[in-house]
Amino acid sequence: MAGGGRPTLLLVEHPAVLTLGRKAREGENIVVTREYLAAQGIGVFEVERGGDVTYHGPGQLVAYAVFPVGRRVRDFLRLLEQSVVTALDTLGLPDARPNPGYAGVYVPDREVGGLPRHQKLASIGVAVKRHVALHGVGMNVTTNLDHFDLIVPCGLTDTQMTSVAREYDLRGLPRTATMPEAKAALAGAFTTTFDTYDWTLPELAAAGS
């Protein structure tokens, strides 16, 4: 890549934290006090990715795609979404899809309190430094979804967060969500989706870098 490194996909889980992206305004979409968060052991961190506030924690599979991007950010985001869609299909959720106008991956809307609510299963946000992507995907597998009640996730008031485990339960599917299975599905999906990806940085090559 820009510094001669290799493209890398990191799959991890984080302790319970809230992260504030570049669109976040301090406290605007956090609906509890910092003291309450501290008492729950939930940290708050400003990060360089795009988007607003979101939650990361145990049971959420976070994929850091440290890939060359150059000026292809929009195309790269679509490939991240497709990777998640493919992984969720492998996990038995074939109706997952991107939602035009919003970053991330969703399953069909549900009625909540008499109103339709988007059902978001994976969040996507990236930063680009020296033509290389940082951050990536947060896919809820067995996440404690109650923690999303501490915020307005991604600043979207018409959206409810869901998870693979919750979808299995609501749909009556005889499956158990596990992190090893989710990791294998997402890693395989990245391999398939990025199979024909141009791993060079044409902007840098043209400049002789």
What is the structure's pLDDT at 1?
42
Does the reported pTM lie above 0.75? yes
Q: What pLDDT shows up at residue 173?
A: 97
**Domain extents in the chain:** 8-13+59-196
Residue of 154, 164, 165, 185 marked catalytic: 154
C-beta separation of 91 from 181 below 8 A: yes
Q: What is the pLDDT of residue 2?
A: 47
Q: Which residues pair with 120 in a beta bridge?
A: 106, 161
CA dihedral 109, 124, 175, 93 (to 10 degrees): 50
| 137 C-beta neighbours (distance < 10 Å), count | 26
The values of phi and psi at residue 130, to 5°, are 50, 40
The pLDDT assigned to 87 comes to: 98
**Fold type of domain 8-13+59-196:** BirA Bifunctional Protein; domain 2 (3.30.930)
- Identity of the amino acid at 35: E
pLDDT score recorded for residue 31: 72
- Are 164 and 140 in contact, with CB atoms under 8 Å apart? yes
19 labelled catalytic: no
Q: Residue-wise pLDDT tens for the chain (209 aa)?
A: 444 457 899 999 999 998 877 666 666 777 788 899 889 999 887 776 656 788 899 999 999 999 998 878 888 999 999 999 999 999 999 999 998 888 899 999 999 888 899 999 999 988 888 888 887 899 999 999 999 988 777 667 789 999 999 999 999 999 999 999 999 999 999 999 999 888 876 554 443 33
